[in-house]
Amino acid sequence: MNPGFAKLIMVIAVAGIIASGFMFFDRSNKGRNENQLSQEDVLPDYGKSRYKEIYLAGGCFWGVEAYFSRIIGVEYTSVGYANGEGVNTSYRSIKSTGHAETVRIVYDPEIISLEDIVTYYYGIIDPTSLNKQGNDIGTQYRTGIYYIDEKDMNVIKAVTKKEQIKYAEPIVTEVEPLKNYVLAEDYHQDYLYENPQGYCHISLKEIPNQRPAVNMSDYPRPSNKEIKDKLTDMQYSVTQRQNTEPAFQNNYWDNDQKGLYTDIVTGEPLFLSDDKYDSGSGWPSFTKTIDKSVVEYFKDEKLGMERVEVRSRAGGSHLGHVFRDGPVKEGGLRYCINSAALEFVPFEKLGELGYEKFKVLFK
């Protein structure tokens, strides 16, 4: 990454606060009111889950992150600085501390294998180039695969051996245990999502097994009158007035059909039936959203409690709340959602109702 970019952007410090059992990583407040949290502020506890992690350094981390975040099976990505001296580093000091620009990748091993991830990784870098990728030069731009599970080393080395056949020069990509990882400044996170025309030495035109995008523009919010006319009294009370429907007396709390749950107001996809489970609460419960961008989070201190409210992105509908008492193996989150805020689309009707592209997301 060209150091000149840093001079153009104000650095926003990453701060952590603990409230109601959640770790909040306060990223940018741009475009948000004081009670709104980032879409990634509420993170699952992946360390105790069935998901796996791998850390990849491949030159400028903007492009590497953008590439892998769009692959089905990749649950979460962030960018940071890895395997340098200590953890007191930043974008301006990584050259002196010996850290490499690195992408943290959390993935679902039931959907995508480590072998595939490492193979894709070698396909977007020049592994024979020492301390240089694209236009970027320096030790911070070296290539490296950093693992936290010793069993991963054999897979990584096996893929590396296969890749070496393609090159006359030796592969110089580091393969090491992860020593440390420092989360990068806020403005680096999802950089190419926020700045599509930003610099990238990696082509994003051909991404394998790419997840379908949920475009907000495809699901415009109706006028207030149209919403009022369209919804039942309960649906309006829940989505527009932040009320809650009765437990065990709603449409979907015990629905076990395969399909897609959408925003009742706009039709924007929100949840998959694959991620629904019986929490015993009497409301539909999910371990995650269909995509991290489709909901927004807000601090909710009503009723003398500190909770995290969930609203739909396109419609701004109140959906429910998210809690940290869900299945540990799935990351520990429980999206407790009102049936009145949802419309269920059976799997066999996805094509008929305009949701054909989302079929690939079902296991």
In this prediction, residues 107-135 reach a mean pLDDT of: 97
Burial of 80 (0-12, 13-18, 19+ CB in 10 A): buried
The predicted structure's pLDDT at residue 16: 29
Q: Smallest Cα–Cα separation from 189: which of 180, 179, 198?
A: 198
Confirm whether 209 is domain-assigned. Answer: no
More reliable by pLDDT, 13 or 295: 295
Residues 220 and 173 in one domain: no
> Per-residue pLDDT tens for 293-310?
999 999 999 888 899 999
Q: Which residues contact 168 (CB under 8 A, 6 or more apart)?
A: none
Residues 259 and 333 in one domain: yes
Q: Using the predicted structure, report yes or no on whether residue 289 has a pLDDT greater than 90.
A: yes
The predicted structure's pLDDT at residue 32: 53
In this prediction, residues 127-144 reach a mean pLDDT of: 96
Residues 123 and 223 in one domain: no
32 vs 223: CA distance, rounded Å: 22
Q: Using the predicted structure, report yes or no on whether residue 34 has a pLDDT greater than 50.
A: yes
In this prediction, residues 64-70 reach a mean pLDDT of: 96
> Do residues 127 and 145 lie in contact, with contact meaning Cβ atoms separated by under 8 Å?
no
Residue 288 φ/ψ, nearest 5 degrees? -165, 170
Active-site residues, by number, are: 60, 336
The predicted structure's pLDDT at residue 40: 67
Domain count, the chain: 2
Domain boundary among 140, 162, 194: 194
Task: Give me the CATH number covering residue 344.
Answer: 2.170.150.20
**CA 295 → CA 79, 318, 326, distances in Å?**
22, 10, 18
The predicted structure's pLDDT at residue 39: 66
252 vs 283: CA distance, rounded Å: 7
The predicted structure's pLDDT at residue 38: 77
Confirm whether 159 is domain-assigned. Answer: yes
The predicted structure's pLDDT at residue 193: 83
Residues 274 and 149 in one domain: no
In this prediction, residues 276-285 reach a mean pLDDT of: 98
Confirm whether 16 is domain-assigned. Answer: no
Confirm whether 199 is domain-assigned. Answer: no
Rg (CA), the chain: 22
Residues 125 and 231 in one domain: no
- What tokens were used for 286? 């999910």
Confirm whether 273 is domain-assigned. Answer: yes
In this prediction, residues 151-170 reach a mean pLDDT of: 98
In this prediction, residues 103-123 reach a mean pLDDT of: 98
CA 90 to chain centre: 23
Residues 182 and 234 in one domain: no
The predicted structure's pLDDT at residue 154: 97
> Per-residue pLDDT tens for 316-342?
999 999 999 999 999 999 999 999 999
Domain boundary among 162, 194, 226: 194
**Percentage of the chain exceeding pLDDT 90:** 82
Task: Give me the CATH number covering residue 157.
Answer: 3.30.1060.10
What's the pLDDT band for 357 if we cut at 50, 70, 90?
Answer: very high
Residues 183 and 222 in one domain: no
239 vs 245: CA distance, rounded Å: 10
362 vs 260: CA distance, rounded Å: 9
Residues 223 and 189 in one domain: no
The predicted structure's pLDDT at residue 9: 33
Residues 308 and 341 in one domain: yes
> Per-residue pLDDT tens for 193-246?
888 888 888 999 999 999 999 999 999 999 999 999 999 999 999 999 999 999
Confirm whether 335 is domain-assigned. Answer: yes
Q: Using the predicted structure, report yes or no on whether residue 36 has a pLDDT greater than 50.
A: yes
43 vs 75: CA distance, rounded Å: 11
Residues 150 and 269 in one domain: no
Cβ-based neighbour number of residue 187 at 10 Å: 20
The predicted structure's pLDDT at residue 17: 25
**Of the ranges 2-16, 75-89, 116-130, 150-164, which one carries the lowest mean pLDDT score?**
2-16
Residue 128 φ/ψ, nearest 5 degrees? -95, 0
More reliable by pLDDT, 140 or 192: 140
Residues 97 and 142 in one domain: yes
Confirm whether 24 is domain-assigned. Answer: no
Residues 223 and 342 in one domain: yes
Confirm whether 143 is domain-assigned. Answer: yes
Residue numbers of the domain that contains 252: 216-361
The predicted structure's pLDDT at residue 4: 44
Q: Smallest Cα–Cα separation from 177: which of 145, 155, 154, 130?
A: 145
The predicted structure's pLDDT at residue 252: 98
Domain boundary among 129, 159, 194: 194
Q: Smallest Cα–Cα separation from 25: which of 42, 12, 8, 50?
A: 42
Q: Smallest Cα–Cα separation from 27: which of 263, 191, 225, 215?
A: 191
Residue 125 φ/ψ, nearest 5 degrees? -125, 170
The predicted structure's pLDDT at residue 26: 32
Q: Which amino acid belongs to residue 349?
A: K
